[in-house]
Amino acid sequence: MREKYLLRCPGCGRSFPDRYTLNCPSGCDTLLRTVYAERRLTPRSLPGIFRYKDWLPIEGHLRVDAGPVSYESEHLARELGLLHLTITFSGYWPERGAGMETCSFKELEAQPTALRLREKGAGGVIQVSSAGNTGRAFCQVSGLTGAPVVVVVPTAAAGRLWTTVPAENVCLITVDGDYSDSIAFGREVCSLPGIVPEGGAKNVARRDGMGTVMLDGTLSAGRLPDYYFQAVGSGTGGIAAWEAAERLVADGRFGPRLPELHLSQNLPFVPMVRAWEAGRRTIVAEDMPDAEAAIARVYADVLTNCHPPWGIRGGVRDAFLASGGRMYAVANEDARGAGRIFAETEEIDLDPAAAVAVASLARAMEEGLIDPGKHILLNVTGGGYQRVAEDLDRYPVDPFLRVAAGTTLDGDLRDDIEAWLAEQEVAAYA
Ligand SMILES: Cc1ncc(COP(=O)(O)O)c(C=O)c1O
């Protein structure tokens, strides 16, 4: 039987079967890619993102009806003076059929990642470091599937960790510091046997899950967009959009050209914007002056990743080189204003990060950076929090441990986490 997909390294060109592989076995510093046997996209009658199962690195599916929802905008398009604006919305908006109850596109990553680990993993509990939204999405999937997860977030973001179903298999660790401190402690936790890093941008399930936005937007419009707009922190969604667009070009029915990438960050923390403007292959310290203070001042703090996969082979810079496009640095007040305009015109509240993307689109129009007659895909990466608060019960996730920034995994902490692990029937996932 032929494999549904193989992984391919864009460095050495080797292809190999997936064993929840995050890195090239030959040691290349690259983002591995999935190469699917199916070259034509056939949507399935399955819930949520599993509609696009042919191009997801999983065999089964979850019974979770939470996928991206696309529609042709009238009101925002008119407000901005655009002729063809497709909005792809990830969040909670029942009137539009959007059922992502944790309100962000991070559920697109969490669902296939949890499933891929169960199907392909060597056994283990997944660990996720997050500024809040990713952690909430993984907690939700844990609540829905029972799969245990270790989530590490900044203490200040602990209030963002809630689910709409009880999640009893979550080990939530809060770190008195920022997102980077959470990533550092998450790495410590992964030194424990039985804990597996989810892999961030290196995880093909995360990228292909996010790529469903491009698939859904393209099927909805009947063609590939000319421009793709999204706010980025790690930039994984930008890479995913490029990869999905390449597959759609190869499919042959949606147009021959890759969409330009129009990616945005929130001032004053805009490392990828600076690296892009300077034409730099790597992100350097001067791209993040006064990082700590800058991070504390942004409106959309989920966009504050200090180590995005920018210069790595197959990363955000390569996505730009292949697709063209540009980066935008968006001020807080512009993002807030764009969020208000979106709420007035489309009638749903936005995650601050999604408001940054809307502001970048408004700027592109004001400054004549795009042709208003061309086709645009706006990735609205989160929204509907007010609706969820009105419609659904929310269960806060209680922290299991709280640690200081820079903490290493000493004996007591190790014992606590191992005791939690022992309770999780890890064997069920072996
Ligand atoms: C709502 C929302 N939009 C955009 C982003 C940016 O995603 P990424 O960090 O993968 O670039 C995030 C990240 O957490 C997010 O939560």
Q: What is the DSSP string of 84-121?
A: EEEEEE-SEEGGGTEE-TT-BTHHHHHHHHHHHHHHH-
Position 425 pLDDT exceeds 80: no
Nearest alpha carbon, ligand 1 atom 14 = 302
User: Is residue 305 in contact with ligand 1, taking CB distance under 6 Å?
Assistant: yes
CA distances from 159 to 52, 265, 396, 409 (A): 32, 23, 7, 24
Neighbours of 78 (CB within 10 A): 12
What are 337-391's pLDDT values in tens digits? 999 999 999 999 999 999 999 999 999 999 999 999 999 999 999 999 999 999 9
User: Is residue 108 in contact with ligand 1, taking CB distance under 6 Å?
Assistant: no
pLDDT of residue 1: 60
Domain architecture of the chain: domains with CATH: 69-102+205-388 (3.40.50.1100), 107-202+393-429 (3.40.50.1100)
Higher pLDDT, 327 or 2: 327
Give the integer Cα–Cα distance in Å for 272 and 300. 15
Say how many Å lie between the CA of residue 159 and the centre of ligand 1: 17
Position 428 pLDDT exceeds 80: no
User: Is residue 203 in contact with ligand 1, taking CB distance under 6 Å?
Assistant: no
381 annotated binding-site participant: yes
- The whole-number average pLDDT for the span 109-135 is 91
Say how many Å lie between the CA of residue 301 and the centre of ligand 1: 9
* Model pTM above 0.90: yes
- The whole-number average pLDDT for the span 135-160 is 96
What are 30-55's pLDDT values in tens digits? 999 999 999 999 999 999 999 999 99
The DSSP result for 63-88, as a single string, is S-----EEEE-SHHHHHHT-SEEEEE
Neighbours of 232 (CB within 10 A): 26
Give the integer Cα–Cα distance in Å for 161 and 173. 11
- The whole-number average pLDDT for the span 246-253 is 98
Nearest alpha carbon, ligand 1 atom 16 = 133
User: Is residue 316 in contact with ligand 1, taking CB distance under 6 Å?
Assistant: no
Chain-wide mean pLDDT for the chain? 95
- Partners of 104 in the β-ladder: 382
User: Is residue 231 in contact with ligand 1, taking CB distance under 6 Å?
Assistant: yes
379 annotated binding-site participant: no
ipTM entry: 0.99
User: Is residue 351 in contact with ligand 1, taking CB distance under 6 Å?
Assistant: yes
Neighbours of 290 (CB within 10 A): 11
What are 265-282's pLDDT values in tens digits? 999 999 999 999 999 999
What sign does the dihedral 32-38-43-46 (CA atoms) show?
negative
